[in-house]
Amino acid sequence: MRSGVRALFLAAGLLAWAALWAGEAAAPRTAVLGEAELGIEVVRVTLSASGNIVDLRYRVLDPERAKGLLTKGAKVLLKDEASGKLLAVPSLGYVGSLQQNSPDPQKGRVYYVLFNNVGQLVKPGRKVTLILGDRRVTGLTVI
């Protein structure tokens, strides 16, 4: 069972990596607060791996401000607004954190963070908030 979960997360990570390089089109945007403070623009928030992973993609607008999000070991959470529950970034022993890291973020490049949604608490249409320390990006809709 444990190896099956690991394989699921590994597959999700590989799919995320492949999609990153495929240059996906952005989803329609709604009002999002807090992006400028983090130096990013959220491109999309979707479900993957049969709903067990929340896949958040963001574009770096200000590399200096975005460094906090791309620092190895940064504690990033996703809050489901309806329930108040927090989703964490899974970390697998042999793969590491399912969050892209970069000591030198590139302006315009799209990066990803994958959140554990086992139990499928977050569903399409739900509002979520990205949390990094005391900074928040609110108004995100899962598609």
Q: Write the CA distances from 59 to 7, 63, 99, 106, 112, integer angstroms.
A: 27, 10, 14, 9, 9
0.85 cut: is pTM over it? no
| Alpha carbon separation from 102 to 17, 41, 51, 69, 134 (Å, rounded) | 14, 17, 27, 9, 21
Q: What percent of the chain has pLDDT over 70?
A: 78
pLDDT of residue 92: 84
CB atoms within 10 A of CB 119: 10
Residue-level pLDDT, tens digit, the chain, 143 residues: 455 555 555 555 545 444 444 444 444 445 478 888 999 999 999 999 999 999 999 999 999 999 999 998 899 999 999 999 999 999 888 888 898 999 999 999 999 999 999 999 999 999 999 999 899 999 999 99
Residues 6+ apart with CB under 8 A from 90: 9, 97, 98, 114, 115, 116
Burial label, 23 (beta-carbon count in 10 A; 0-12, 13-18, 19+): exposed
Per the DSSP assignment, residues forming a β-bridge with 61 are none
Q: What is the pLDDT of residues 84-113, one digit of tens each?
A: 999 999 988 888 889 899 999 999 999 999
